[in-house]
Amino acid sequence: MGIITLKKVSVYYNEKQLLKNINLEINNDVVLILGKNGAGKTTLANAITGFLPNYLRFEGEMKIGEFLINAQNYNKYRERKGNFKEISKILSYVPQEPAEILDPTFKAIDQIYEPVYYSNKSYLISRILERAKLTRARIEEIAQLALKDRDRLVMMLSNNRPLLDQIYSVFRYEGFEGDIADIISNKLSKKPKNYILNFLKNYKIYSKIPIISSILNNEIKKEAIEYAKELALIFNIKEEFLEKYPSQLSGGLRQLILLAASLAGWPKIIILDEPTSNLDSVAQFNLVNALIRIKKLFNMGLLIVSHDAPLIDIADRVYIINNGEIVDSGDSKSIKKSTNEYTKKLLSPI
């Protein structure tokens, strides 16, 4: 059973069938839905994410994590009512045009840190507390291992994600300049004052006291911003761009900012609608590299819907869609050798 499973999912506009009995399973892998414009790709993505317009009718069955969605409760899912509010912990959606989601009145950094600040303060607190436990000698040991034996260091910290994230972010940045040991040492040495640490250890209690809550939330916000910078490093987004508004960034950078923001809440699946469209060749290259990094570094799945056939090369599984129906499927190698006429025509530019 996949993280997301579709069984005989159909979508109707009045009596016209837009999606026809789609069966699909998504796990911690890269799934590509490939088809021409108008084939039903975006309708499928919208059906999974609950973004279908009200005038379209959903039929069939869909399971997302532990949530069972069908024709009877699809409207509740659309509106994120009841338990469906928690669905964002399972899937995140990156639309074709980032401007649909990015707020033009907020800087890029704000749009990355806010998802984790408001949804996972406990993780941010654990990052602060894990740093506080470190002795000077332990920090030096970590810094030296970062220089000499990264694999051993990652293995050593594999059961401590809050700490591992903080040191591993430096390794993720391809264009990193400077002394890694010094950077890690300085990073791990940043600790708030002792009285703040004591309050953070009992955040649930002290967060009910207005003045103390304000102090603690300010500290947590600082940590969220640091975490946002780490996510930006994964995609080689320079810090200067994080202080800009979406309108001041290129389409490619807006797409990368949105990808970084989608990682902030630790979803199990990221759904991307036509991620490479409207981007120039350099921006497309950067975006594909970013998707490869997500696949390599995080234990999460990607569902990509696109007409861009070269994306097959980063996919684990490919589904070919035509007129709202899956007409072919397989891994990237088998799809390239497919005898299906529609598939061959779709892949002819490769």
pLDDT tens for each residue of 37-93: 899 999 999 999 999 999 999 999 999 999 999 999 999 999 988 888 888 889 988
**What separation in angstroms does the CA of 163 have from each of 57, 156, 160?**
46, 11, 6
How confident is the model over 155-170, as a mean pLDDT?
86
> What is the distance between the terminal CA atoms of the chain, rounded to a whole angstrom?
33
Which two structure tokens, joined as six digits, stand for 320? Answer: 């070919």
* Residue 297: per-residue pLDDT: 72
User: Is residue 176 pLDDT above 60, yes or no?
Assistant: no
Cβ-proximal residues to 127 (8 Å cutoff; 6+ apart), any chain: 162, 163, 165, 166, 223, 227
Confidence of residue 198 (pLDDT cuts 50, 70, 90): very high
> In terms of DSSP bridges, do strands 91-94 and 269-273 run parallel, antiparallel, or are they unpaired?
parallel
How confident is the model over 258-287, as a mean pLDDT?
84
Angle at 75 between CA 71 and CA 81, to 5 degrees: 130
pLDDT digits (tens, 9 = 90+) for 214-256: 999 999 999 999 999 988 887 888 889 999 999 999 888 898 8
Q: In three state form, how does the secondary structure of 11-80 look?
A: EEECCEEEEEEEEEEECCCEEEEECCCCCCHHHHHHHHHCCCCCCEEEEEEEEECCEEEECCCHHHHHCC
Task: Convert 315-325 to b/e letters by CB count within 10 Å (16 or more is b).
Answer: bebbbbbbebb
Q: What is the CA radius of gyration of the chain?
A: 22
DSSP state of 240: H
Residue among 116, 136, 111 at smallest CA distance from 127: 116
At 226, the amino acid letter reads E
pLDDT digits (tens, 9 = 90+) for 278-293: 777 877 888 888 888 7
At 162, the amino acid letter reads P
Beta-carbon count within 10 A of 278 CB: 14
Give the C-alpha separation, 130 to 86, whole Å: 27
Query: Helix (H, G, I), strand (E, B), or coil: what is residue 181?
Result: helix
* Residue 99: per-residue pLDDT: 75
> What pTM value is reported for the model?
0.82
User: Is residue 175 pLDDT above 60, yes or no?
Assistant: no
Percent pLDDT > 90 in the chain is 59
Sheet holding 91-94, edge to edge: 91-94, 269-273, 301-306, 30-34, 317-322, 325-330
Beta-carbon count within 10 A of 194 CB: 9
User: Is residue 332 pLDDT above 80, yes or no?
Assistant: yes
User: Is residue 118 pLDDT above 80, yes or no?
Assistant: yes
